Amino acid sequence: MTRDIQVVQDLEAVARGALTQLRRLLDSSPAGPFRIALSGGSTPRHLYQLMAESTLPWERIHLFWGGERCVPPDHKDSNYRMTREAMLDRLQLPDSQVHRWQAELDPDEAARLYDKTLKSEFGADWPQFDLMWLGMGDDGHTASLFPGSPALERTDVAAVANYIEKFESHRLTLTFPAINASRHVTLLIAGAGKAGVLPEALHSDHYPVSRVHGTQSTLFLLDQAAAAQLG
């Protein structure tokens, strides 16, 4: 499976590039549900704002999240809250199309319930997202798969609570087999803070971001600041 790297000018262009890819995939996929795993973090916020202003076949779009922080949905750190404020508040999507982690519960219970949701929504043991958006932290983590964390080894379930030592707390995340069953995986990475780690993170297994891929495509959509140290 080849990995494409596309460098665009800035965060605005990253968002526009992701939206263009989404439209193309929607156009070329069979009618029916189109399941997207959204990224958390701050990078995709503008993309979500653009989506809310766009004419998209919303009746087909089902939203999930690749990871979540262990906080209630109205907490300032909640990925769901970020998405709601950027996009969902401006749409009228039925609850049946928005699948958030119940991150206000005990972490293991929240992960168990998300795994159950995925099995039921996909009608299979593993999800097969049409499109997965992911980000990358400046330590090379993606979703909530952090270097050295226990969830890196999990291949038995799609969704787990992952203890992150440096935060002394759990985060919720999809596992590698769940992410890598996605048809299309696109990494949205912007900002100078990502530039130092990126050359190594693309190639070394130590960095979780190097281990994600889609079954049909893997795209790293970078802005110039993030790509500055790539050869």
Positions touching ligand 6PG (CB under 6 A) are 39-43, 67, 69, 79, 135-137, 141-144
Q: Give CA–CA dist 171/192, Å, rounded.
A: 25
C-alpha distances in Å from residue 39, one per residue of 78, 133, 155, 213: 12, 5, 21, 15
- Residue 57 or 148 with smaller CB distance to ligand 6PG: 148
Residue 65 to residue 54: CA distance in whole angstroms: 20
By C-beta, is 57 or 196 nearer to ligand 6PG?
196
In the complex, the smallest distance separating the C-beta of residue 144 from ligand 6PG, rounded to whole angstroms, is: 6
Task: Give dist(CA 68, CA 62) in Å, integer.
Answer: 17
**Cβ-based nearer residue to ligand 6PG, 33 or 73:** 73
Region for residue 191 given its phi and psi (left: phi exceeds 0; alpha: psi -120 to 50; beta: otherwise)? left
Under DSSP, is residue 38 helix (H, G, I), strand (E, B) or coil?
strand
Residue-level length of the chain: 231
Cβ proximity to ligand 6PG: between 124 and 230 the closer is 230
Pairing of strands 159-164, 131-134: unpaired
C-beta closer to ligand 6PG: residue 127 or 135: 135
CB of 172 to ligand 6PG, least distance (A): 9
Closest CB 47 distance from ligand 6PG, rounded Å = 11
- Candidates 61, 40, 48, 42; CA nearest to 19 is 48
Q: Taking the mean position of all CA atoms in its chain, how far away is CA 209?
A: 11
- Least CB distance to ligand 6PG at residue 79 (A): 5
Residue whose entry in the numeric block shows the structure tokens 């190639």: 203
- If the CB atoms of residues 125 and 165 are measured against ligand 6PG, the closer one turns out to be 165
What is the rounded distance in angstroms from the CA atom of residue 96 to the CA atom of residue 31?
18
Least distance to ligand 6PG, CB of residue 156, Å:
21
Question: Minimum distance between the CB of residue 57 and ligand 6PG, rounded to whole angstroms?
Answer: 26
